[in-house]
Chain A
C-alpha cells in the first residue's frame, strides 16, 4: 500500500523552475532517503510534502488523499529540521508535549505518551531541562521526540544530522534506523551525504537539478547506476570515468587497451567507461590502463592508490600489506562484467 505518493510535482519561483516533475510512490513503513548535491531541490520537495511550500503543479498524496490544499497540521506528518528548531524557552517536556497540542488525547494519555517517547529516546532524566542545558545530539533527540509523539503517517527529516560531529552523526544514524525499526512509520529523509543515504535507506532517490536521476535500493543504485551522475555520486571514492569508443570489436579505451565485451556497436560511438576503485585489480582480468603510482593512502585493510594514466588520474584499491610503491609503473585490470558503459553525451547507461 502506498502511503505517500508524489505525482508529477513541479515548483517554480517566479520564472525559475526548480523542480521539473517529481513522481514517486512510497510504501507504508518504508525508509526513503533523498540525496543529491546542494541546490538540487531536496528540501523544496520535502517542504512541499509538509505543506510549508505551495505546489506549483502536480499532487501530493498521503494515505490515498490529495493533500495539496491542506494545512501542514492536517496532513498527518511531522518534521525534524536541520537546526532542530526546539523552543529555547520551554523545557524538554514542554517541547515534546508541543507536538501533541492538536491531538485529542486526555491529559493522562498525553503524559503517558510523552513518557513513552522519552523512554524510547532515553531522555527520561532530561525532561525538565531547558534546551540550553543539552548537547547538540540531545537537542536533536528532543526534536525527534517532538515529531514522534504524534505518531504521524510520515516523518520528514531535513538533514537532521549535518550539525553534529562525525562520531555523533554515525551514532545518531544508527539510532534513527533502530527507531524506524521500532516504530515503523514511513520516513522521508533528506541528506547530501551519500554514506548516510546508503546506510539508512530502504530506497534511495537520487536527485540533480530538480529531476530524479534514479530510484532504487542501495545495492541497485550502487551496482546498477542508471547514469554517469549516479555512478559518480554514489560510492566513495567515486567511480573512475575513462573515455572510450564502442565499436564492433568492443570497448576501445582512448588511453588504454581494447576490451572485449558483449556490448558491441556497428558504428563507432563515443562512450565513457566507469569502473569502481574496488573492481580494479593489479593482476587478474582484462588489461585496462597502465600508469605510475602518484600517491598512496593507507586505510588499514587496504590502500588507495592514485595512478597517473594518459587518460587522467585513476583511483584503485590495493592490498593493505603489500601495496605498490609510489613511482612504480603498474597496469590495472578489471573483469568486463564490472564495467559500466555510459553514453558520452547523455550519460545514460548502455546495457
Chain B
C-alpha cells in the first residue's frame, strides 16, 4: 500500500516558502516606492522650513540643517506690516470665493442634475467646455473686463473670475447623481419647495463633495499667483503669493524671507484641511436606502 509522506522535505519547504518570499519582495517594493514618493513630497516642505531658519548668506547652501539656525526671518516678516495686510487679503479672498463656489456650484450642479428642461444638455456642455480654456488665455479678457468695469486693483477684481467654477459645477452635478430621486420626491410630497429640498435634503447628502470642493477652491485661491499679480497694482491689495514674490531688491531675491512667508501661510491651508476633511466620509448617502 502506498503511504503518502506528509512530512516536509527540503524541497517542499523551499517550494512552499517561495510564494511567501515573492510576497515579501512585493511588499518591499511597495514600501520602497511609497518611501520615495514620501521623500519627494516632504523635501520641498523641509527645504522651505530649513531655508526660513537660515541667514541670507547661507541660503544657497544645500544643507538641510542650518549651520546657525535663526528665527530672525520670522520676526522680520511678522513685524513687516505688509505681510499682515497680504495675509488678511488672502484670507478674505479665499474665504469668500470658497463660500461662493459652495453655494453657486451646487445650485447649478443640482439644477443640471435633477431637473429636465430644454437646453439642459447644451448648457452643461457649454459649462464643461470652458474647462478646456487655459487661464493664460483668459487673463487678458478678464483684465479688459475689469478695466472697463473699474474693478482693477480691488477685491472684486481679484475674486470675480473664480466665484463660480466649471469644475465645481461638474463635481457637484456628478455627486448629486448619487442622491436618489426618491428622496427628492418624498420631500416634494412632504411639502417642501424646490429650494428647501435642495438645502435640507440634497445638500446634507453631498457633504463629502462640498468638503472636497471647499478644500480644493480654498487652496487654489490661496496659492493663485498669475491673476492676482496682473489685476493688482498697489502693495496693499497684494495677496500672499504676489507679495512674497516681491521680497528682496533688484539685485537679489530674499529667499529666506519668501520661505518664511510661505511657511507661515501654510497654516491656514492646514486649518481648512483639518476642518473639512472630517466631512469626507463615504457612504453617507446610502444609509437611508435599502440595506
Contact = CB atoms under 8 A, between A and B. Distances in A.
Interface of A: 50-52, 71-73, 77-79, 81-89, 98-99, 101-102, 130-132, 135-136, 139, 146, 163
A52 B205 CA distance: 22
B191 A131 contact: no
Contacts of B289: 83-85, 88
Contact of A87 (B183, B189, B286, B291): B183
Contacts of A139: 288, 290-291
Given A81-B182, A81-B185, A88 B288 contact: yes
Contact of A85 (B182, B191, B204, B286): B182
Contacts of B56: none
A135 B291 contact: yes
A101 B289 CA distance: 22
B206 to A, nearest CB: 11
A132 B287 contact: yes
A86 B188 contact: no
B229 interface: no
Contacts of B252: none
Nearest to A87: B288
A322 to B, nearest CB: 45
Contacts of A132: 287-288
Contacts of A71: 188
A262 B191 CA distance: 59
Contacts of A89: 204-205, 284, 288
Contacts of A98: 187, 190
Contacts of B288: 84-89, 131-132, 139
B150 interface: no
Interface in B183-202: 183, 185-192, 201
Given A84-B289, A87-B288, A50 B189 contact: yes
A92 to B, nearest CB: 11
B188 A88 contact: no
Nearest to A81: B182
Contacts of A51: 189
A83 B182 contact: yes
A266 B191 CA distance: 63
A76 to B, nearest CB: 11
Given A79-B186, A102-B191, A88 B286 contact: yes
B184 to A, nearest CB: 9
Contact of A73 (B182, B191, B286, B291): B191
Contacts of A102: 190-191
A50 B182 CA distance: 13
A101 B189 contact: no
Contacts of B284: 88-89
A98 B204 CA distance: 15
Interface string B248-291: 00000000000000000000000000000000000011111111
Contact of A52 (B183, B185, B190): B185
Contacts of A88: 205, 284-289
Contact of B191 (A50, A101, A136): A101
A86 B287 CA distance: 9
Nearest to B288: A88
Contacts of A82: 182, 290
Given A89-B205, A131-B288, A83 B191 contact: no
A85 B190 contact: no
B290 A73 contact: no
A146 B186 CA distance: 10
Contacts of A84: 182, 288-290
Residue among B180, B187, B291 with most chain A CB within 10 A: B291
Given A86-B288, A88-B286, A139-B291, A72 B205 contact: no
A85 B287 contact: no
Please give me the 9 A-B residue pairs with the lowest Cβ-Cβ distance, nearest first: A102-B191, A88-B288, A73-B191, A132-B287, A88-B287, A85-B182, A163-B290, A85-B186, A89-B204
Nearest to B201: A87
Nearest to A98: B190
A88 B288 CA distance: 4
Given A73-B191, A88-B205, A89-B204, A131 B287 contact: yes
Contacts of B291: 135-136, 139
A131 B185 CA distance: 18
Residue among B185, B186, B190, B286 with most chain A CB within 10 A: B186
Nearest to A142: B288
B189 A73 contact: yes
A130 B283 CA distance: 14
Given A77-B189, A81-B182, 13 more contacts: A50-B185, A52-B185, A52-B189, A78-B189, A79-B185, A79-B186, A81-B185, A82-B290, A87-B205, A88-B286, A102-B190, A130-B287, A132-B287
A99 B188 CA distance: 10
B189 A72 contact: yes
A85 B183 contact: yes
A139 B290 CA distance: 8
Residue among A52, A77, A89, A146 with most chain B CB within 10 A: A89
B180 A83 contact: yes
A226 to B, nearest CB: 33
Contact of B188 (A72, A83, A131, A135): A72
Nearest to B196: A101
A133 B226 CA distance: 50
20 contacts: A51-B189, A73-B191, A78-B189, A79-B186, A81-B182, A83-B182, A83-B290, A84-B289, A86-B186, A87-B201, A87-B205, A87-B288, A88-B288, A101-B192, A131-B287, A131-B288, A135-B291, A136-B290, A136-B291, A146-B186
